[in-house]
Structure 1
Amino acid sequence: MKLVCSQCQQAVQIDDAKVPAGTFKVKCPKCSNVITAQKAAPSSSAAENITAAVVESPVSDASSSEGDVPLATQAFVKKEIAAMKNEILAAMASLFGGDTKWREAGASPEADMDDPLSKKALICSGEDSQIDFISSVLRRLGYALDVARGATEAIKKMDAGSFNLVITCSSLPDDAEAGTKIIGKLNGQKPAMRRQTFIIVVSPTLKNGDSNAAFFQGANLTVNANELKNLETLIREGQRHFQQIYSVFSRVLAEKERSE
């Protein structure tokens, strides 16, 4: 008797003498699916001895959570989601990798970064000159601005409304942990809301675009306070990475929801 697996089209030859009466099952040697077949009635036509195979779920004692979804469809969806997850990992490796080098002043920003990620920014700083310079950069990028001169004031403003970009500087006069309090407040938001905020930390002890330091501080970008001349370029570059990561994340999330 010859069986044909309708899943992978593998032909399975069984000795007629070993074929049991009635319905029986055979595991496909190629794709491991179960082939359900029935011994053909005696016939002079050899073609009638070729039994069509019915493919069931893979051999397993556990019930399938995918229900009646065809195995080919299940495999395709899982493959696509896995590919997208790999894209996320690659993008995150690019952003957080130790060899990441940010462009310094004079580099040409990408054309697709002419529009900022959002339009409302909060500057947290205690120095007038620092506030003035950062404000001029953010205005060029199209942001509406608000200023907080301490952690307490910043948290009140964040309670009153959301911001798409927050810059916290080590010059805040409240206390040495002012920046940590502000970032802690932002990172305490629901994930969907947190992803809408681009956080920048400015300090004389940090390197420009130090992705590892930004990660451990819960921020998106670090800027050296003595090199603010690079701020506009760094923001554009940082936001471009930010957009790349979350555009892939959103695609994976949408695919996951559709597959459930």
Structure 2
Amino acid sequence: MIVTCSKCQTRLQLDEAKIPAIPFNVRCPKCSHANNVQPLAGNSASPLNNTKSATDTITEDASPLARARLEHAASAPVFRAEASDKNSTAKQESVINAEDVVRLLSALLQRGAATAGAGEGESSFFGRSWEQRRALVCVAPAHKETVARALSESRYEVFVAADTAQAIKRMREDQMSVLVLDPEFDQIEQGAAFINREIAQLRPVERRRLFIVQLSPTARTDDAHAAFVNHVNLMVNTKDAAEMSSVLERAVRDFGELYRDFNKALAASST
């Protein structure tokens, strides 16, 4: 339920499951004004029967024009690198000499030996090793290109959402492996809040298959405590967005190792 402060016009989101059946007051955290709230009709019924999706809530609160736009919004599109960038990369690769090739092959062999055991953990998180890894990018426009390109270079199928409706529709259509979320995403529609609400409605098995990364201008990259406080799997500072692929791969492997035995036990119990 969305309540607008009558004094400062701040929009407050209330948990419908905790709303009483009688009128009550809500104090605005911004201006401390007490707002009288009338409960919705039938609010005393079971919260499970009144649960609404994020897109439903957005649609109800929007104007008729915005409601029509949200109902017919497309899903988040796939990110495509520009052809000029590909040509630039090809030119850079053409100048690599034989010594560079040998050095690169040696580094790859060493990396493969060091991560041989970790690969099982990663595949247990993403499912089958041959399945396409999907990533949904829900960040402010200033970071979209950087984050999408970093994920694309790590062989993810990247979807970039322009607004909240696109993000939620894509989450419902496809099982995402990674979600990159910025608190400043679609602030007009409170995008981060509605996406977090959509995540909270996932079944436990679906939530364990979704690795959530949060961008932050203040938090330290790979800060485990900040990730725990914000209910995400990984924190990435916006300054490190271009190099987030290496941090993400390591964090995903660790996450897969953590749940590997648990997922095996669930698979065994279901057979």
What is the TM-score normalised by the length of structure 2? 0.48
Out of 120, 144, 147, the residue aligned to residue 131 of structure 1 is 144
Q: Based on CA coordinates, which of the two structures has the bigger radius of gyration?
A: 1
1:151–1:174 CA contact under 8 A, matched in 2: no
Out of 181, 191, 194, the residue aligned to residue 207 of structure 2 is 194
- Counterparts of 2:200 and 2:145 in 1: how far apart (Å)? 27
- 1:227 offset after TM fit, Å? 2.2
Question: What does residue 172 of structure 1 align with?
Answer: 185
The 3-state SS of whatever aligns with 2:176 is coil
- 1:217 offset after TM fit, Å? 2.3
Question: What does residue 136 of structure 2 align with?
Answer: 122
Alpha-carbon distance change, 242 to 182 in structure 1, aligned in 2, over 3 angstroms: same
Letter in 1 for 2:177: N
Alpha-carbon distance change, 241 to 200 in structure 1, aligned in 2, over 3 angstroms: same
Deviation readout 1:49-106 (Å, 9 max, x if unpaired)? xxxxxxxxxxxxxxxxxxxxxxxxxxxxxxxxxxxxxxxxxxxxxxxxxxxxxxxxxx
Out of 108, 111, 116, the residue aligned to residue 115 of structure 2 is 111
Letter in 2 for 1:121: A
- 1:125 offset after TM fit, Å? 1.8
Out of 128, 137, 141, the residue aligned to residue 154 of structure 2 is 141
- 1:143 offset after TM fit, Å? 0.8
1:119–1:164 CA contact under 8 A, matched in 2: yes
More helix by share: 2
1:126–1:150 CA contact under 8 A, matched in 2: no
Out of 179, 182, 203, the residue aligned to residue 195 of structure 2 is 182
1:150–1:174 CA contact under 8 A, matched in 2: no
The 3-state SS of whatever aligns with 2:220 is coil
2:137–2:161 CA contact under 8 A, matched in 1: yes
Alignment RMSD (CA, Å): 2.8
- In structure 1, the gaps of 5 or more residues are 1-107
Instruction: Tell me the matched-pair count.
Output: 150
Alpha-carbon distance change, 247 to 223 in structure 1, aligned in 2, over 3 angstroms: same
1:169–1:179 CA contact under 8 A, matched in 2: yes
- Counterparts of 2:153 and 2:189 in 1: how far apart (Å)? 31
1:202–1:225 CA contact under 8 A, matched in 2: yes
2:137–2:158 CA contact under 8 A, matched in 1: yes
Question: What does residue 55 of structure 2 align with?
Answer: none
More strand by share: 1
Is residue 2:230 matched to residue 1:226? no
Letter in 2 for 1:219: V
The 3-state SS of whatever aligns with 1:163 is coil
Letter in 1 for 2:148: S
Question: What does residue 242 of structure 1 align with?
Answer: 255
